[in-house]
A and B are shown apart, each in its own frame.
Chain A
Amino acid sequence: MTTTAIPTARERAEATTPKRRPQREREGAAWVFLSPWVLGASVLTLLPMAVSLYLSFTDYNLFDPPHWVGLRNYTQMFTEDPRYWRSVLTTVTYVVIAVPLQLALALVVALALKSMKRGKAFYRSAFYAPSLLGASMSIALVWRAVFNDGGTVDNLLGTGGWVNQPGWSLLAVALLTVWQFGAPMVIFLAGLQQIPAELYEAAAVDGAGRWRQFLSVTVPMLSPVLFFNLVLQTIQAFQVFTPAFAVSAGKGGPADSTLVYTMYLYDRGFVASHMGYASAMAWVLLLVIGVVTAVLFRTSRSWVFYASEGDR
């Protein structure tokens, strides 16, 4: 057995991609394509972001004009607010539980569906069904009933209720997210569909078994999509709000065990009317997510493969 016998998808694409020349002439066209985004990003995103950055250095109670307090919000957050640190810990725990579980489930189901000949449409729809609901009020009530003491999970596992025990409640929240794995699943499926069938044929001709085909065709060809899902699910998980809000009825309980970062941010900003403090929290989160994402992008160079760019 040699590993070099089969050309990987990467090598194949590389071989067929001609060298490109800079496309300066397309600069004008690029701005036409970008114009809606530029307008939206500057007026509806950059401007509000700038305002919230400014607010993070102020004391702003939503009604009176904001007044400048320098770094006070930030120092208060880091040094005087134990609940803040608890929410950080809760959020990190959540990210570590929910993201790998959800992605793994979505990928496994997508692969299972891909290799299926009959009933594909049925399964795809059925597995997606939970994701249609979002974290609506009714699904929150269902979740609390299923994970309550005397509820289905308690009856089956004898663990007692999950939503009302501080040690279990975050898991119930994470499971709500994992349960709605439809979005990454559909993205995986779309990615799998995009892989040209002739790559598999060629690999099969070269004598690759299924596992080998998976490693040398599926994985590299799916890597942009895998990367997309990983980055987006991580970003979204750091910002998790709705499932925690829904399952804990907006309280983050029991005993702050589901008080995730954005829920505490919301609480500070809209319940306690400390919008300056909430904005500071938002910017710290942005920085943290930014660093995590940058690290992911950095590592992506070694494992994400773009057919259009070949390997450099």
Chain B
Amino acid sequence: MPGHRTKGFCASAVALALCALAAGCGGSGESVGGGKAVLRYTWWGNPDRAERTEKTVALFEKQHPDISVQTSFSGYDAYKQKLAVQASGGDAPDVMQLDYRQIDQYASGGVLLDLAKQKTVLRTAGIDSGLLATGRVDGVQYAIPQGRGTETVVYDVKTWKDSGVPLPRAGWTWSQWASSVRELADKTGKPGATDPGQSEDAFEVWLRGRGKALYTRSGELGFTADDLARWWTFTDGLRREGAVSPAEQTTQLDGSVENTPLGRGKAVSDTNWDAPSSGYLAIVPTGIALAPMPSGSDGTPGQYFKPSMFLGVSAHTGHAKEAAQLVDFLLNDPGAAKILGVTRGIPVNETIRTDTAPLLKDFDKTVADYQASLEGKLKDPPQAPPSGDNALQTTFQRDYDQVSYERMTPREAAENYVTEAKAELRS
């Protein structure tokens, strides 16, 4: 009976698939390739980064004839999704580039290898200890930061200068920032800045300026609905005055500089990460400059040096040592550093950072100088955010949309967010 056979087959097949799912299944690290160890290495980025990475990997293969590296890359959003499917299918690449927000989830999901076990080949002495700690979860070094970045107020230099409003200076506070954007709006007729209310990153800077944090050490929410309501009341007030971008502009942010109000010529400044700000050069013809983020009223800096990306090794890799060698090479080899430049952020290895600084040109130099001006003034970065943060970043922006489209008061939206965040962090 065909029907019965089919049923029996299905039952056993379901069982098989479930077992595979539960076991998280192995299957990575196929080692054939003419006696060579074959590593798979993936990252996100653009074609320029791809070209530099390819060259670096070629150099690595030349120095390690027994290792062959297969590389692959895609854009950030696509990469995140692809990696999630691969990892949950038990097929994570041997070496993978990771985001701050991914570390906790991937580490606690058993995807990542404890890198301390490979410290004979993977040197971390050249990296600032505070920065290195960001790759640790529960005391285990699961990932190593590969570059660092920090937030910045990026502005249209000419428009700001012409308006006569005093230029931003180091150590300015949020209330000074607020009066600047108000004045800018007055003088130039367009909003002084992108509404920072939708950005969890900007909120974190503001919060740290008040001596708090997004998350506590144990991964719980580090602030209250009061704090958030205060922040959103602050930004929403500025929006109503026209000092920062209106909801219709703010909602178009999609991560690209081209779709920011500054990029569209609809605002004078923007808050963004330093290295990606190079994108503005092509679209703000009158030139841009970087200023530090505002600090708390007592001068407490909120911004910090954040690892722009990490490198991690798959727990299922068949070639842990070789994978660690590749990671070490990408981080610490002067030859590699020369090729890579600052395509992944300012290098974390301090010797390399010092050595490459004079070689930098154009916007790379602007970013390096900007970071140098903050060196030693900022507080240690927080540990990697708990895995729930992935969802909360979107929730944050969605809840603020409700405020800026005037469907909820800042207080209501803040209560909402805190409820959702607590549920998210519990699960």
> In the complex, which residues 264-284 of chain A have their Cβ closer than 8 Å to any Cβ of chain B?
267-268, 270-275
Q: How many A-B residue pairs have CB under 8 A?
A: 114
- Give the residues in chain A near B9, CB-CB below 8 Å: 42
Does B298 count as interface, using CB distance less than 8 angstroms?
A: no
Q: Of the listed stretches A46-54, A119-127, A304-312, name the one at the interface; the rest are far from the partner chain.
A: A46-54
Q: Cβ of B17 and Cβ of A64 under 8 Å apart?
A: no
Q: Which of A160, A166, A250, A274 meets B254, CB within 8 Å?
A: A250
Does B328 count as interface, using CB distance less than 8 angstroms?
A: no
Knowing A63-B106, A64-B109, A271-B390 touch, does A165 contact B10 (C-beta < 8 A)?
no
Q: Cβ of B387 and Cβ of A251 under 8 Å apart?
A: no
Most chain B beta-carbon contacts within 10 A, residue among A54, A59, A63, A161: A63
- Give the residues in chain B near A43, CB-CB below 8 Å: 13
Bound Cα distance A148, B248 (Å): 9
- Give the residues in chain B near A254, CB-CB below 8 Å: 247-248, 251, 401, 405
Bound Cα distance A59, B423 (Å): 14
Does B249 count as interface, using CB distance less than 8 angstroms?
A: yes
Q: Tell me how far the C-beta of A301 lies from the nearest C-beta in chain B, rounded to whole angstroms.
A: 27
Does A104 count as interface, using CB distance less than 8 angstroms?
A: no
Q: Cβ of B387 and Cβ of A165 under 8 Å apart?
A: no
- The total of chain B residues at the interface (CB under 8 A) is 44
Does B14 count as interface, using CB distance less than 8 angstroms?
A: yes
Does A255 count as interface, using CB distance less than 8 angstroms?
A: yes
- Give the residues in chain A near B398, CB-CB below 8 Å: 83, 251-253, 255-256
Knowing A47-B10, A164-B248, A253-B251 touch, does A274 contact B427 (C-beta < 8 A)?
yes
Bound Cα distance A144, B259 (Å): 10
Residue of A nearest to B407 (CB): A255
Q: Tell me how far the C-beta of A279 lies from the nearest C-beta in chain B, rounded to whole angstroms.
A: 12
Bound Cα distance A61, B87 (Å): 11
Bound Cα distance A253, B427 (Å): 26
Does A65 count as interface, using CB distance less than 8 angstroms?
A: yes
Q: Tell me how far the C-beta of A170 lies from the nearest C-beta in chain B, rounded to whole angstroms.
A: 14
> In the complex, which residues 140-161 of chain A have their Cβ closer than 8 Å to any Cβ of chain B?
144, 148-149, 160-161
Q: Cβ of B105 and Cβ of A63 under 8 Å apart?
A: yes
Q: Of the listed stretches B18-26, B45-53, B275-283, name the one at the interface; the rest are far from the partner chain.
A: B18-26
Bound Cα distance A46, B9 (Å): 11
Hey, what's the 0/1 contact readout for B188-225 against A, CB within 8 Å counting as 1? 00000000000000000000000000000000000000
Binding site for B on A (CB under 8 A): 31, 38, 42-43, 46-48, 50-51, 54, 59, 61-66, 83, 144, 148-149, 160-161, 163-166, 249-256, 267-268, 270-275
- 16 A-B pairs with CB atoms under 8 Å apart are A42-B9, A46-B10, A50-B14, A51-B18, A51-B21, A62-B88, A63-B111, A64-B108, A65-B21, A65-B23, A163-B252, A164-B247, A256-B398, A267-B394, A270-B84, A272-B390
| New contact pairs (8) apart from A46-B10, A61-B387, A63-B24, CB-CB < 8 Å | A61-B105, A144-B252, A165-B248, A253-B398, A255-B405, A256-B402, A273-B391, A274-B391
